[in-house]
Amino acid sequence: MNCKRINARAREIIARIRALNIPKRVKAELLMLWHHARGLIESVIGFVMRHNHLGECLVLGAVVAYLLSQVPVFGGFLALVALVTAASVGLMVELLKEIEAVFTPAS
């Protein structure tokens, strides 16, 4: 059922691209971009599903960075520091999980 909905959505987007009043070459490029973007999004979602702690840290860091970017003078710098810190914490948690998995004795 879910696969049918996804295919219906893809068909709808492809039909909307084909209905545009633009040259055929541009339509072909848009269709190619749609297929590449779909593959990219599926890859990103797969990566986040495999490394969920890193994904959670990056999302939280992005939210904090957005909020800090509203600070008038140093907002951009604080946002950058928040993103780097979130990525570092996420990577350290993933590394800790891998180290524990390797060095935990099998019972």
Question: What pTM does this model have?
Answer: 0.63
Q: For the segment 75-96, what is each residue's pLDDT rounded down to a tens digit?
A: 999 999 999 999 999 999 999 9
- Three-class SS of residue 12? helix
Please give the pLDDT value at position 1: 44
Single out the residue of 87, 101, 99, 100 nearest to residue 53, CA to CA: 87
Give the mean model confidence (pLDDT) for residues 9-29.
84
Q: For the segment 48-78, what is each residue's pLDDT rounded down to a tens digit?
A: 888 888 989 999 999 999 999 999 889 999 9
Any idea which residue has 């797969």 for tokens?
A: 46
pLDDT bin (cut points 50, 70, 90) of residue 3 is low
Per-position DSSP letters for 42-99, written without gaps between them = HHHHHHHHHSHHHHHHHHHHHHHHHHHTTSTTTHHHHHHHHHHHHHHHHHHHHHHHHH
What percent of the chain has a predicted confidence (pLDDT) above 70?
Answer: 93
Give the mean model confidence (pLDDT) for residues 12-41.
85
pLDDT bin (cut points 50, 70, 90) of residue 2 is low
Distance between CA atoms of residues 85 and 20, nearest Å = 44
